[in-house]
Amino acid sequence: MTNTIQHLNDSNFNDTIKGSAKPVLVDFWAEWCGPCRAIAPLLEELADEFTGELSVAKVNVDENPDLAAATGIRGIPALVIYRDGKAAAQHTGTAGLGQLRSFISGAL
């Protein structure tokens, strides 16, 4: 089973985060960000690995600067796990597959 990564923006972010029955991992990223591009395939792998436990979404901070500011994102890549509509855990910066897996497991 494949866990599809959603692309969120100003108009669908709150409904998606608050309306999800399971935690949502949001990757705040930008196209020019090398570390963001480096972790993208790892997040795809983890989205499949955690299917059923976690939804995965992405927010392009260049296209949604107000959303990035409203959520307190100051550096990218920033990974935030939302539970019941609220930020439950956050990781900023690059990480390897094992570190990302531990971050997600620890927040679930």
Catalytic residue among 8, 24, 26, 36: 36
Rg value, the chain, Cα = 12
- In whole angstroms, give the CA distance from residue 2 to residue 50: 10
Torsion-angle region of residue 13: left (phi > 0), alpha (psi -120 to 50) or beta?
A: alpha
Q: Does the annotation mark 36 as catalytic?
A: yes
Q: Does the annotation mark 33 as catalytic?
A: yes
DSSP secondary structure letter of residue 103: H
CA dihedral 32, 44, 17, 79 (to 10 degrees): -50
Catalytic residue among 8, 33, 81, 95: 33
SS3 34: helix
- Residues acting as catalytic residues: 33, 36
